[in-house]
Each structure stands twice: as C-alpha cells, then as structure tokens.
Amino acid sequence: GAVVSQHPSRVICKSGTSVKIECRSLDFQATTMFWYRQFPKQSLMLMATSNEGSKATYEQGVEKDKFLINHASLTLSTLTVTSAHPEDSSFYICSARAQGPYGYTFGSGTRLTVV
Amino acid sequence: AQSVTQLDSQVPVFEEAPVELRCNYSSSVSVYLFWYVQYPNQGLQLLLKYLSGSTLVESINGFEAEFNKSQTSFHLRKPSVHISDTAEYFCAVSEKGGSEKLVFGKGTKLTVNP
C-alpha cells in the first residue's frame, strides 16, 4: 500500500517550453503532497507544499510563477515548469503522506533536461 | 528550524564488513527521525524511522539506527553489508506537531566493494 506514481520518469524539452509532471497517490488519498528538487550529488530541497483545493505553499527562493503547482484532487498533484531553461534541468521528486503518523511515500522522480 | 548534518559524503566498504553512517540533527523542538535510501535515478524509499518509544529501530534488511537525544544523533548501522546495499542514504527530520515538512541531510554515498 501507499504507492505514489510519478510521471514522466524522464523528459527532454526545448528551452522556452513548459513541462508538466504528475504525481498520483494510487491507493490512498493525499491532502498534502510535497515537491522536491535534487541537484546532482546533493540532497533534496523542498520546493513547495501542495494542498488539495488550495494554493501551494512555496519555500523561500522558489519562483511560484515559474513552478506552477496544482492539487485539484485528493490523488493528483501536478508541477508545471514554465518557460524552462537549461538551469531548470534537475531531478524532481514528489512525496505524499499516507495514513498514519508520518507515512511519507515518494514518487520515483522525474529527470528533466532542458536543451 | 531544523537542520541535519551527515558528516560523511562517501563511505566505501568491503562486502560483509560493518558500516556506520552518521547523522546529527539540530532542532529546538522534539523531532521525528528518518533514514531513506535512494538508488540511481529513483525516488526515495523509507528504510526506518523513529517516532517514539524504543530508541533502537530496525529495518527488515538488517539496518538499524539508534536515537540518542543527548548527542542529537541518529546513526545508521549494519553489521555486514552486501553489494546490493550500494546506494545513497539520506537522514531526515521532521518537527513533532509541526508542518510535516521533511528536512534532509546532504546524503551519504555508500559503496560496497567485492
């Protein structure tokens, strides 16, 4: 139980285009999901907390207009990287909290390459 | 605010040797503690967690970690490692009764050599 599916696993896009990443909780409802960014050989940095039915809460330094988060249902959150540039290339990972105390489950991640 | 320090960025060991991956944290309030493992190009998998109770927690694949409040540490240990344990390991903390956010350390790359 408590599976989080993240799609796509890899995406290559041209500079200036937008890319949407989906994060789905398959067998549980997630009122809160988290989006992380991971640079090579570094830790995960929390970008934003996605709340179902309300606006996301962004961490300091994260551009909310560039990284659009939508959490329209209890099982789906999306992260859209708008007008992507090469410096946005990174590994993006989502996480959702399942039932029980601090049952965080992570998606398998999305490798974004902007060329 | 919480912070996590993983002192060793890389730990190379031989197969069947014991290993300890160190984790220290800083927080002004009580915390929950976690160890996650990440294989290349994959998400994170929970290895073990400390929420309350016994300070020694164990995983199903032989890892254990001990919460030491006085030393603010949560070191991860395994008495005998396998090649398949090669991965990146992340220590994380979350504030009890707080925002549910996980704060991660920078990770330790464990490489098990034959």
Q: How far apart are CA B38 and CA B92, in angstroms?
A: 13
Q: What is the pLDDT of residue A29?
A: 87
Q: How much is the mean pLDDT over chain A?
A: 90
User: Position of tokens 């890899």?
Assistant: A10
What pLDDT is stored for residue A32 in this prediction?
87
A101 pLDDT band, cuts 50/70/90, is low
Would you say residue A108 has pLDDT above 70? yes
- pLDDT of A1 strictly over 60: yes
- DSSP for A17-69, please give it: --EEEEEEESSS--SEEEEEEE-TTS-EEEEEEEETTS--EEPTT--TTTEEE
**Cβ(B35)–Cβ(B48) below 8 Å:** yes
**At B81, is the secondary structure helix, strand, or coil?**
coil
pLDDT band at A53 (very low <50, low <70, confident <90, very high): confident
Collapsing DSSP to helix, strand or coil, B106 comes out as: coil
Q: What's the confidence (pLDDT) of residue A27?
A: 85
Query: CB–CB of A44 and B94 under 8 A?
Result: no
pLDDT at residue A89 is higher than 60? yes
Q: Is B104 on the interface with A (CB under 8 A)?
A: yes
Contact B35/A at CB under 8 A = no
Contacts with B109 from chain A: Cβ below 8 Å: 41
For B79, other C-beta atoms within 10 Å of its C-beta total: 11
pLDDT beneath 70, residues of chain B? 99
Minimal CA separation from B43 to chain A, in Å? 4
Name every residue whose Cβ is closer than 8 Å to that of residue B60 and which is 6 or more positions away in sequence.
none
Average pLDDT of span A70-99: 91
Question: In this structure, what are the phi and psi dihedrals at residue B84, rounded to the nearest 5 degrees?
Answer: -70, -10
Of all residues in chain A, the percent with pLDDT exceeding 90 is 68
pLDDT number for residue B97: 77
Interface of A with B in 61-80 (CB under 8 A): none
The reported pLDDT for the residue numbered B41 is 78
**CA-only gyration radius of chain A, Å:** 13
Tens-digit pLDDT profile for residues A5-30: 999 999 999 999 999 999 999 988 88
pLDDT at A100: 61
Q: How far apart are CA B65 and CA A24, in angstroms?
A: 31
Beta pairing, strands B87-95 & B73-78: unpaired
**A46: which chain B residues are within 8 Å (Cβ-Cβ)?**
101-103
Smallest Cβ–Cβ distance between A104 and the set B102, B105, B107 belongs to B102
Element containing residue B17 per DSSP (H, E): none
- Please report residues of B whose CB lies closer than 8 A to that of A104: 34, 46, 102
b/e per residue A65-80 (b: at least 16 CB within 10 A): eebbbebeeebbbbbe
